[in-house]
Amino acid sequence: MKQKTEDDPSRRNIPSPFLVLLLGFFMLVAFVTTAIEDELPRPIKEQEIGINDSNTFSEESANKYLQIILGDHPRVFGLEYHYIKTRDLKELFDSIAQKSILPIHTDWQFVDGYFMFGSPSVYRNLSNVVAVLEGESGFYSNGTIGTSILVNCHHDSVPFAIGASDDGLFCAAMVETLEKLSRRTTKLKHNIIFLSNGAEEMGLQGSHGFLSHPWSKGAIAVVNLDAAGMNGRPNLFQVTDSRVLEAFRRTTSRPMAQSLGEFLFSNRIIPSDTDFRIWRDFGDIMGVDIAFVQWGHIYHTRNDRPELINDGVMQNAGNMLLPLVRDLADYEGLVNRVPRSTAVYFDYMGWFLITFTRSAALAVDIIVVLLGFTTVAYPIWLFGLTPLYWLPYVIASVTAAHLFDFWRSKKTDLDSSMRTIQAMAATRFILSVLLFVLCCFPIFFNVRYLIGTPLFLMSVGSIVSMSVVRYSKVNAWQHLLLEVIVHIPATLFTLSLGTRLLALMIPITGRSASDSPDVLVTIASVAVTVYVVFTVSGIELLFSRKWMWIVLSGISVVCIIIMFIPMNPYRDVNTTQRHTWFHSQVTTYDQNFTVLNSSSGVILAKTDANNIHDALKAIRNSDIYIRDDESHESDNPLNKLQIRETDLRILQEECQDYLYCNLPIFGPRSYTNSLFVSMGPPAHFDHSIQLLNRSCTADVCKLSFEIHGTAHNTITIWPRENITLIDWPFKNSIRSTFRMQGRPVYNIRQNTNTYSAVFPPYELTLDFRVPEMKQADIILDISLNAHKINHPEDFTDHYKQLLEVMPEYMNIATFLSFRSNYVF
C-alpha cells in the first residue's frame, strides 16, 4: 500500500503558529490539575451536626480547639509558655473526658530518659499529654492497656513560630476526632491513644519519652501527623504496615499518597525527620506518616499562623482522620503483629489510591515493560522498521525533532502522521528500557511507578491512536486531537506528580544554605518538564516547519524577557527569609580555671544563598555602621551600638582550625561561610562544668562532672591524642559524632523539657583509657554550650539595635548562647 505524502490535502501539516495554542492548552491543563488536587470540602459548623453524631467532623469546633492549643506565642519546650499551653491541653482533654459517653483516661506524663540519635539525646522532666478512648481491649490492673491505635501529633513549636500548621492543626483535628468518637455508645475493638507530645522540634524527644509510658505497650499501629508546610491536602508519605495503608485507602475519599516521599526520606534526599522514625526504630510500632507539604516557604517561620490556613483545610484533615482512626480501632486483624512491611502506593490526582506489595510491584512493572515493547513493535509491524530517536525537552525538543525530521523526511515517503507515531514509539521504547533497568535494582522498587504508570497509560493510548491512524482517514488536526485525548491520562498523572514535587523541593532547596539553589531548582524543573513532555513527545511533528523558527524564537524571547525581569522574592508580606542568630560569648579556661581568652558577638548562620549578603547590606546601610577610618566617639550617644568593618567577618579559617569554629553549637552543624559580628556579650546566665572527682586505677581514669546549664545544652567531649573514651552513662555502644584533627569528637544533647525556674545540675561520669605516663596531664577538652531560646526579655540594648536595622522580611530565630571550653 502506498503511503500518503505531505502533498495530500488530507495529510497537510498544522500551521506552526498553532503550536503556541497547544502549549497554552497544556499550561491550562497543569492549572486545572492543581485546582482539582487542591479542591477542599465545605467547612461544617457544629450546629449542623446532631448531638449524638459521632461520625461527622466539624471544622468550626476544631478551630476552637486550635486557638486553645496555639495561644499567641511560640511554644518552645522548656519555656514557661510551653508549660502553660501544655496544661491548657490537658484541661481540654479532661473536659472532653468528663462529657464522654465512653470512658476516656487522661494523663500528663513527666519522664526522664535518653536515646541515641546520632549522638546521645538526653531529656529530663519531659512532658506529654495523653488521652485514651477505651475500647473493648480495655485496661489491665498493672497499669498497661490492651491493643490500641496510637494517633500522634506534637504541640511544641520552633522559636519565632506559632506553629499553626506545624503541628497545631493536626493536634486540633485530633482533639475534635476524640470529641466526636467520645459520643459513641458502643466501644470499638481497640483503645485509641491520642498523644500530643511536647518535644518534637528539638530532636523527636517527646515521642521517645512516651515509649516509657505503660500505655504505649499496647500500641499495635500508629497514625503519625505532622507538617512541613501549610494548606492543601495532607500527603501520606511513609508506610511500615500495609494494613494501615489499606485502611487509609478504604476510608479516604480524596487520598493523597506517594511512596516517592518514602524514597526521598529514607535516602536522606529530604534532610528531615518526623516522630514516625521513633515509632518505627525505637518502639517497633508500625503504621503510616501523614503531613502537609504545600506552602513550604511558610514552614518554621512567623507566618505559620492560623489566619493563613484556608477554609476547608481543617475539614479535609478531619474528614481523613476521623474515619481512618475509627476503621483502624475496629479492625480486628491488627491484633496479629506483622513484620515491618514496604509497599508501593500512589494516588491519581487525589481521586483514588493504587497500592501494590513489593513483589506484586515487580510483576506489574515487568508486564508494563512488555506492554511498552509491544507498542513499539506494533508500529513497526504497521509501517515497517525505521530509526528511533531521542527527544529533548520543550523548545529544544521541538527544534531538534524538526531538524531530525527534516533530514529523515527526505529518506522516507511516510507522511508526518506516520513519523509522529514512530517518534512516539521511540519515546515508549526509551521508557521501557529505563523501567526494565530499574527493575534490576531493588532499591528503586517504590519509585518505579513514576515510569511504569505513565508508560502503561501511554501504551494503551498508543494502541488506539495507531490503529485509528493506520486504518482511518484522518488529517493532521484530527490526529493531533486524537493523540492529546488518548494521552491526557498520562499527562495528567505526570503533571500531578511534577507540580507536587516542585512545590516540595523548591522551598527545601531555598533553605538548604546552598550557594546556588537556582541551579538545583533548574535541574528539578528540567527533570519535571522532561517527565511531562515524554507523554506527548512526537506530536510536534504534526506542525508545519514553515514559520516554525519564528514561532520558537518568539517563545524564546518571551521566556528570556520574563527571566530577566527583576523580582523581589520578599515582596509578599507572607514570604520571609529565614535567619538563625546566636548572640554568643565564648570563654576558654586553662587547667586552673583561669580565663585564657574570651570573645563575644552575634553569629548569623548561613541558612540560604542570600541571607548573609542581605544582613551585611542592612548593617552597612544603617546608622550603626561606621567605616574603620572614621571616629564617632565624641558624638556617640550613650549605649549606641557601633559596628566597624573590622567587626564583620565571614567564618572560614576558624572552622578549619577549631572544633565547631570555636563557637556555640546547637546540635552539630558547621558555621562555615556564616557571618560573625563582634559586639558585647549576651545577658549573663549561670552555666558551668565542675569536676567532682578524678581517679585512676591501672590505665583507666574515671572523671565525674556536675554540669549547670539551661533548658537546652550541648556537651562536647574531645579526648586528647592516645586517650580513649571507654565508658559513659549510656547503654548504647560508644560512637563518635565525627573526627577532628584525628581525634574523635562526642556530643551529648541534654535538655530539661518542662519549664522550671531553677534547673537541677546534670551529673556525667566518663571513663577513659589513659597511659599511666599521661594520667597527670590534660586528658580531654570538654565544652558546655548553653542556650536560651526565644527570650526577648533578655535581649541587650545593643542586640536590639542590631535587630532593628534588619529588613522586615527577615524571620530571625534568636539563641542566647554561651560556650565554655575546659580542659581536665
Expressed as residue numbers, the domain containing 617 is: 576-824
Query: Are 131 and 90 within 8 A, CB to CB?
Result: no
Same domain, 557 and 580: no
What DSSP designation does 164 have? I
Same domain, 595 and 718: yes
Residue 45 lies in a domain: no
Instruction: Say whether pLDDT at 275 is over 90.
Output: yes
Residue 4 lies in a domain: no
Average pLDDT of the residues in 62-83: 94
Same domain, 15 and 123: no
Query: Are 333 and 242 within 8 A, CB to CB?
Result: no
End-of-domain residue from the set 307, 341, 375:
341
Same domain, 780 and 638: yes
Residue 571 lies in a domain: no
CATH assignment of the domain containing 296: 3.40.630.10
Residue 21 lies in a domain: yes
Q: Which residues contact 379 (CB under 8 A, 6 or more apart)?
A: 421, 422, 425, 466
Question: SS in 3 state form for 202-251?
Answer: CCCHHHHHHCCCHHHHHEEEEEEEEECCCCCCCEEEEECCHHHHHHHHHH
Same domain, 88 and 161: yes
Same domain, 408 and 276: no
Instruction: Say whether pLDDT at 413 is over 60.
Output: no
Instruction: Say whether pLDDT at 390 is over 60.
Output: no
| Predicted confidence band of residue 511 (pLDDT cuts 50, 70, 90) | confident
Instruction: Say whether pLDDT at 636 is over 80.
Output: no
Residue 79 lies in a domain: yes
Instruction: Say whether pLDDT at 507 is over 90.
Output: no
Same domain, 559 and 605: no
Instruction: Say whether pLDDT at 614 is over 60.
Output: yes
Own/partner pairs, 377-382, CB within 8 angstroms, 24+ separation:
378/425, 378/462, 378/463, 378/466, 379/421, 379/422, 379/425, 379/466, 380/425, 382/421, 382/466, 382/470
**AA identity, residue 711:** A
Helices (H), 703-767: none
Number of separate domains in the chain: 3
On the question of a cis peptide bond just before residue 167, with omega within 30 degrees of 0, the verdict is yes
At residue 720, the pLDDT reads 94
Task: Tell me the per-residue pLDDT of 348-379, one tens digit each, with 9 for 90 and over.
Answer: 999 999 998 888 999 999 999 999 888 888 76
At residue 655, the pLDDT reads 77
Q: Which residues contact 370 (CB under 8 A, 6 or more apart)?
A: none
Between 806 and 270, residue with greater pLDDT: 806
| Predicted confidence band of residue 264 (pLDDT cuts 50, 70, 90) | confident
Average pLDDT of the residues in 586-608: 93
Average pLDDT, rounded, for the chain:
88
Which residue's C-alpha cell is 527571566? 563
Same domain, 372 and 329: no
Task: Tell me the per-residue pLDDT of 524-544, one tens digit each, with 9 for 90 and over.
Answer: 888 888 898 889 888 888 888
End-of-domain residue from the set 563, 594, 629:
563
| Predicted confidence band of residue 387 (pLDDT cuts 50, 70, 90) | very low
Residue 346 lies in a domain: no
Residue 202 lies in a domain: yes
Task: Tell me the per-residue pLDDT of 539-561, one tens digit each, with 9 for 90 and over.
Answer: 888 888 777 778 878 877 887 88
Helix axes 476-510, 517-533, angle to 10 degrees: 150
Query: Are 780 and 768 within 8 A, CB to CB?
Result: yes
Q: Which residues contact 602 (CB under 8 A, 6 or more apart)?
A: 581, 582, 583, 584, 676, 677, 679, 799, 802
At residue 303, the pLDDT reads 92
End-of-domain residue from the set 341, 374, 396:
341
**All cell numbers assigned to 295:** 506552602
At residue 392, the pLDDT reads 31
Query: Regarding beta strands 625-626 and 595-604, do their DSSP bridges make them parallel or antiparallel, or are they unpaired?
Result: unpaired
Average pLDDT of the residues in 431-441: 92
Separation between Cα atoms, residue 771 and residue 701, nearest integer Å: 9
Residue 42 lies in a domain: no
At residue 257, the pLDDT reads 95
At residue 381, the pLDDT reads 66
Same domain, 272 and 293: yes
Same domain, 450 and 580: no
Same domain, 30 and 58: no
Same domain, 25 and 59: no
Average pLDDT of the residues in 460-470: 88
Q: Which residues contact 223 (CB under 8 A, 6 or more apart)?
A: 149, 150, 151, 152, 244, 287, 288, 290, 321, 324, 325, 328
User: What's the sign of the alpha-carbon dihedral 342, 347, 353, 359?
Assistant: negative
